[in-house]
Amino acid sequence: MSGEEGATTPNRRVGSGTGGVLNVVGAHLYLEDSQGRVLLGLRHPDSVYAPSTHHFLAGHCEQESAVACLVREAREEAGLLIHPDDIEFAHAVHLMEPPGTRPRLQMIFRARRWTGTPEVLEPDKCLGWGWWHPDDLPDPTVAYTRAAIQAIRAGRLYTELGWT
């Protein structure tokens, strides 16, 4: 070892006390309409993660910032145009579910302004978009999505799930 404990390279972390397990970073859109309802999509029944479950518009960061990822995913998944300056951080969920899997940092952002009406542009991933009152979310809704919505409404910025 070079003696630079904790040094990083583009593809891996060196010198970590936990074996260098990297976290997956997700960017999620918390979008409210004029009635205070939150946008959620119904995931396709063949989805690897959370089939037939309601979830935020979201994606994994791919050599891009979380805000750039969110802008890209909103356009690709739902035809929504959001300027990066209209995005603000709303909440983070750090989770390991189920226990023993790769940890994930889910960053949730609120868009103050956007253009477009949500439409299904990736029917192999999402069956439909809907607006839901935070007190009456559909069943089933992804657990960390539900937790994030409750935390945002309570003014909390951070939640941990699945860590023991």
Give the pLDDT score at 40.
98
The residue among 41, 60, 39, 59 whose CA lies nearest residue 51 is 41
Give the pLDDT score at 11.
41
Locus of tokens 């089933």: 140
Amino acid identity, residue 43? R
Give the pLDDT score at 59.
96
Q: Do 109 and 66 form a contact (C-beta atoms < 8 A)?
A: yes
DSSP state for residue 101 in the 8-state scheme = S
Regions of the chain with pLDDT less than 70: 1-19
Amino acid identity, residue 25? V
* 105 vs 21: CA distance, rounded Å: 13
Q: Do 92 and 108 form a contact (C-beta atoms < 8 A)?
A: yes
pTM score of the predicted model: 0.86
- In the chain, how long is the greatest CA-to-CA distance? 57
Give the pLDDT score at 156.
98
What residue spans define the domains of the chain?
A: 24-161
Give the pLDDT score at 1.
31
Give the pLDDT score at 12.
42
Q: Do 32 and 73 form a contact (C-beta atoms < 8 A)?
A: no
Buried b (16+ CB within 10 A) or exposed e, 29-63: bbbeeeeeebbbbbbbeebeebeebbbbbbbebee
Rg for the chain (alpha carbons), in Å?
17
Give the pLDDT score at 6.
34
The CATH classification number of 24-161 equals 3.90.79.10
Give the pLDDT score at 17.
55
Indicate the SS3 state at residue 150: helix
Helices (H) and strands (E) in the chain, counts: 2, 8
